[in-house]
A and B are shown apart, each in its own frame.
Chain A
């Protein structure tokens, strides 16, 4: 579960990036976070992943209190959340299999577990036949699916997707969003940060709208840019 209570986050002396944000995303929920550039979406993601600490207010993510979390606990918080980025952030010199296995290896998984889990996750995202390819040999949609596989492989309770369709055409965007919905159907909480109004309305899920550091609306399947 992700819970923000009256969160303020200020950088330096300027106006705060988040100004009293309160929201709660329950386990197993699918939720869109939308808003214009500079509205505070990235700050929310950074707070959830432990990159930043709130200036005031409390943030709870999957049982961790981000206000009090110790530096050495942050890697363990991050293992509970998988993050997917617009620019995929894959390791170009590693094969599809190794990109996913890498995420397991760096948290100390055993080789046997890796051999069992990676093919399963690649199958889940439809890349089982491309395990030996390098990222540059794949399309944008496939690369994003690989990024999702990497985010999923450690079985996190939450997936955060930051503009996952930003670099994709409409058809591939729909595929990716469908994949995220499938993952959500398996019980994983999914938070998608996006600008893609059509997709938000098409999938008809909970939409949190943020503007100028304040949540301006929070409801089902509705996104009005005005």
Chain B
């Protein structure tokens, strides 16, 4: 293929889109629909993942300091706690603060009459970097001299981790399945477009066009259809997501859930996913579909 033909071939690719308008329209619609399904599910999975991560981050270990330690000694333990590898931060709560919080958290203040701060212990609220390592960190905390007792909710942390793992596996499996189904549907739509033009391809072969010369306009066409499908799908996803989040935010029962904004961390991965998926199905779909009509 000569370089000076490239312009003609690209022009032919674009011409083909308009010449076979209905099939192009069908291919774009199918691409948009498939990308919307895959995209919506991915975004839902991402939101759930973020929510579970946030809930998991609320898991803490309560470290009680021995009553025999003075205030200064109790405060000095914080340095050793923070030196542990998995500790993100530790907050010292004096026995007085603990009592105040305890009283404030309960409506019936009278029930705490006679309870002295001295009855309680100084404590640290320890937040971890990785809750999967909660048990190990808990063991390390217990080894620190002056630590009397720790209180760690392993089951809760493990529960969150299990939910997150199941969600991740289910998301990957479902997204992969949806992508394969989308590829098959789009590839079939492009095959139909090719079938519509089999005579044209046969004539090209008959007059001596090389395979690459025949293929390139179709690949350009597939690329363009995939691109248009990706742009429309992405735009539609954005509009629908924003509208849905706005509606859900207004529902009181769902106040606990916070949705990731479309223009936040999610934007770049969504752009990459939509455009790479659109281009992949467009180019691979047209390339594999045309192969069938080349053996003339």
Contact = CB atoms under 8 A, between A and B. Distances in A.
B208 A107 contact: yes
Given A79-B207, A91-B199, A150-B207, 5 more contacts: A91-B200, A91-B203, A106-B208, A110-B4, A154-B208
Given A89-B199, A91-B199, A91-B200, A108 B206 contact: no
B19 A106 contact: no
Interface stretch (A70-78, A137-145, A201-209, A212-220): A70-78
A150 B4 CA distance: 22
B296 A106 contact: no
A105 interface: yes
A49 B207 CA distance: 10
Contacts of A192: none
A106 B1 CA distance: 10
A106 to B, nearest CB: 4
Interface of B: 1-2, 4-5, 8, 19, 199-200, 202-211, 213-214, 296
Interface in A10-64: 49, 51
Interface string A97-121: 0000011011110100000000000
A29 B2 CA distance: 34
Contacts of A68: none
Contacts of A91: 199-200, 203
A102 B5 CA distance: 13
Interface residues of A, number: 22
Contacts of B209: 75, 106-107
A78 B207 contact: yes
B190 to A, nearest CB: 19
Nearest to A72: B210
B12 to A, nearest CB: 8
A129 B254 CA distance: 74
Interface of A: 49, 51, 72, 75-79, 82-83, 89, 91, 93, 102-103, 105-108, 110, 150, 154
B206 A105 contact: no
Contact of B1 (A79, A102, A108, A154): A108
A49 B206 contact: yes
B205 to A, nearest CB: 7
**Which 9 pairs from chain A and chain B are nearest by CB?**
A79-B208, A106-B209, A78-B208, A103-B207, A75-B208, A75-B210, A108-B5, A106-B204, A108-B2
Contacts of B210: 72, 75
Nearest to A78: B208
A103 B200 CA distance: 11
Given A75-B209, A79-B207, A150-B207, A106 B202 contact: no
Contacts of B213: 106-108
B215 to A, nearest CB: 12
B205 A78 contact: yes
A78 B206 contact: yes
Nearest to A71: B211
A29 B200 CA distance: 30
Nearest to A92: B199
A40 B250 CA distance: 78
A110 B8 CA distance: 10
Nearest to B20: A93
B208 A89 contact: no
A84 to B, nearest CB: 10
Nearest to B4: A110
Contacts of A102: 203
Contacts of A76: 208
Nearest to B209: A106
